[in-house]
Amino acid sequence: MSFSPPVFLKESEENNSKFVEIQQAQTTSTVSEDPLQNLCLASQEVLQKAQQSGRSKCLRCGGSRMFYCYTCYVPVENVPVEQIPLVKLPLKIDIIKHPKETDGKSTAVHAKLLAPEFVDIYTYPCIPEYEEKDHEVALVFPGPKSVSIKDISSHLQKRIRNNGSGKNDDPDKPSVKRKKAEGQDVCDFSESKWKGTTLKRIIFIDSTWNQTNKIFTDERLQGLLQVELKSRKTCFWRHQKGKPDTFLSTIEAIYYFLVDYHTDILKEKYIGQYDNLLFFYSFMYQLVKNVRCSGDKETRKLTH
């Protein structure tokens, strides 16, 4: 689906009871704890204007869309690309989506729109070959073998050691081997520097929970290091039935991964560097929230 006004209205009715639950849960926390409240975001005026003028044309495929085209991964005509923030990421992101996942529902597109140079989206079963790169790639998946973000580097180091010598074209690897061979401890600074470059690519699966399991069991992904995110509550309005509110939307998962990567692996202070990844997400969240908060009369005013 796309974010057309009638759908917003329909959704707000369907999910009203859920919203009440969320509201109740939130009363225990202060406003500042709302994860989308204090983001460092670019001006969303362009989205406000686009929302008021309604759907616009995708300049690539001609489709009529709200804000962006979810098949071409570009903003629509009334959302000029130069008014959309560009986010720089410290590593590459691959998103594998299930073919049955409805494109318009996915928040994975947000990552591609906001960090196009760093993000690639693949539709399962067409995925890259990771086998040769398993010492610098990890898969975000919560399972019994998953490790936490802060432990990624040490687990990848083990793989480098186990993979043995030869076949490497990676400038990081010889120095690591040399240090190990000399039996020297690496000083804190170079350790953190080195750790920052170990992981080069992180993979996210973008689908419902059942489909995620199917993709996860693909043998091409089975050998990869699995990483689990810290538990955080979702703000997603398409919260999946029967799933806990810690089941994040894809863009939330990417965002939180990067925040933790920044502090736990790069060892740098997080000052909002990746907040703009939530540029569309926070706007849509607010929109849905406003629709749900207002009565029918207000809703009609907002959506017509």
- Binding residues (CB under 5 A) for Zn ion: these are 58, 60-61, 63, 69, 72
Question: Smallest gap, in angstroms, from Cβ of residue 62 to Zn ion?
Answer: 7
Please, which residue, 2 or 163, has the CB nearer to Zn ion? Answer: 2
Minimum CB distance to Zn ion, residue 105 (Å)? 16
Pairwise CA distance, residues 162 & 51, whole Å: 53
In whole angstroms, how far apart are CA 182 and each of 130, 177, 186, 189, 198? 31, 9, 11, 18, 20
Contact 274, 255 (CB under 8 A): yes
C-alpha span between 188 and 83 (Å, rounded): 40
Distance in Å, CB of 172 to Zn ion, minimum: 39
Q: How far is CA 104 from CA 23, 109, 110, 204, 239, in A?
A: 26, 9, 11, 18, 15
- For residue 135, the minimal CB distance to Zn ion (Å) is 37
Residue 126's contacts (CB-CB under 8 Å, 6 or more residues apart) are none
Minimum distance of Zn ion from residue 74's CB (angstroms): 7
Assign 192 to helix, strand or coil: helix
Q: Which residues pair with 203 in a beta bridge?
A: 94, 139
The pair of structure tokens assigned to 37 is 């409240």
As given in the structure block, the two tokens for residue 17 are: 């009871």
Q: How far is the CB of 61 from Zn ion (least distance, A)?
A: 3
Helix or strand holding residue 158 (H, E): helix 152-163
Considering beta carbons, is residue 77 or 228 the nearer one to Zn ion?
77
Instruction: Decide whether 61 or 293 has the Cβ nearer to Zn ion.
Output: 61
Q: Which is nearer to Zn ion, 54 or 142 (CB)?
A: 54
| Residue 288 beta carbon to Zn ion: minimum distance, rounded to whole angstroms | 23
CA distance 254 to 248: 9
Nearer to Zn ion, 63 or 85 (CB): 63
Of residues 70 and 255, the one with the C-beta less far from Zn ion? 70
**From the CB of 13, what's the least distance to Zn ion, in Å?**
29
* 250 and 107 Cβ atoms separated by less than 8 Å: yes
**Between 6 and 62, CB nearer to Zn ion:** 62
- Give the residue with the Cβ less far from Zn ion, 1 or 25: 1
Supply 251's token pair. 């863009």
Cα torsion 193, 195, 196, 202 to 10°: value is 170
